[in-house]
Amino acid sequence: TLLGFIVTDLPIKSSALKSILTHATNRSFNCISVDGDMSTNDTICMIANGAVETKEIDETSQEYVQVQNQVTEFAQQLAQLVVRDGEGSTKFVTVKVQNSLTFEDAKIIAESISNSLLVKTALYGQDANWGRILCAIGYAKLDNLKSLNVDKINVSFIATDGSEPKELKLVVNGVPQLEIDEARASEILNLNDLEISVDLGTGTEEAQFWTCDISHEYVTINGDYRT
C-alpha cells in the first residue's frame, strides 16, 4: 500500500490545492511501479494550514504555477523513495518514453515496461534483454497503434553515472543491434540507477515511469506477510 501526506504552511484555496495535488500525483505517485499491484488503501493527502502570512493562493494567483511545479517535483522525490525501497530491489530504473504521438500512449507504454515481471527479473539478473522490453511495448494497452511504428522505434539503456558511452543502443529504427557490446551492457546494468530509453519517433510527447527490479528478497518478504 502507498500512503502519504504532504503538508505546507502556505495558504492555498481548497480548490487550488485539489488541482495542485492531482497535477502532482499524475506526474509522480501515479508513475511508479514496484510490482504492478494496486492496493485497496492507496491515499495521498495534502494539508495547507496557511501559517505563512501571505495572500491565499488560488488558481489565478501568479504564484500558482510555481507552487504547482514545486509540489510536483517534491512529490516525485517522495514517490521515487518508494521505488528505491522496493522490498529488496537492487535497481532504480527510470523508463523514459519519448517522441510519442500522445502523452497518454507514452505513459501506457512506460507503465507496460515498468510492470513487466520479465523485464524486472532481467534487470535483477543484469541481462540486456531488449526482446522483453519490445514485447512489453507490443502488448501495451493502447487504444490504437498510431504512436507505434516498427521502423522508427529506438530502445537504449542509458548510464546515469557519467561514464561513456552514456547510451547503449539495443534497437535502432526497429532493427535489433545483434552485436551489442556485452561488456558495456554489463557495466550499465551493474549500476544501481539506470534508464531505459524508448524513442517512438512518431510525435513529440514524452512520459516517465520509475520502477525497480524484482529480487529473491521480494518473494521472501511477501511469501508470509499475513501469517
Partner 1 sequence: QQASKSVDKYALYVPKNGVFPRGFQVGSTASGVKKNGNLDLGIIRNTNTSRPAAAAAVFTTNKFKAAPVVVSKQILEDKNGTGINAIVINSGCANSVTGEVGIEDAKKLISHVDSKLGTSMSTLPMSTGVIGQRLHVNKISKGIDEIFDNNKFGSDFQSWLDMAKSICTTDTFPKLVTSRFSLPNGEKYTLTGIAKGAGMICPNMA
Residues 113-132 that bind partner 1 (CB under 8 A): 115, 124, 126
Half-sphere exposure at residue 181, Cβ-oriented, CA atoms within 13 angstroms? 12
DSSP H or E run through 3? strand 3-8
- Count of positions (residues) in the chain: 227
Reply yes or no on whether 1 is catalytic: yes
Q: DSSP character for 55? A: P
Least CB distance to partner 1 at residue 22 (A): 6
Residues binding partner 1: number (CB under 8 A) = 79
Q: What are phi and psi of 185, to 5 degrees?
A: -60, -45
Those residues whose C-beta lies under 8 Å from the C-beta of residue 21, and which sit 6 or more positions away, are 6, 44, 46, 71
d(CA 136, CA 36): 13
Least CB distance to partner 1 at residue 34 (A): 4
Rank residues 73 and 182 by Cβ distance to partner 1 and give the closer one: 73
Does 95 participate in binding partner 1 (rule CB under 8 A)? no
Among 173, 186, 192, 204, binds partner 1 (CB under 8 A): 192
Determine which one of 1, 40, 60, 227 is catalytic.
Answer: 1
Least CB distance to partner 1 at residue 226 (A): 5
Does 159 participate in binding partner 1 (rule CB under 8 A)? no
Segment 3 to 32, residues that bind partner 1, using CB under 8 A: 3-15, 17-18, 20-22, 25, 29-30, 32
d(CA 95, CA 20): 24
User: Would you please indicate which residues are annotated as catalytic (active-site) residues?
Assistant: 1
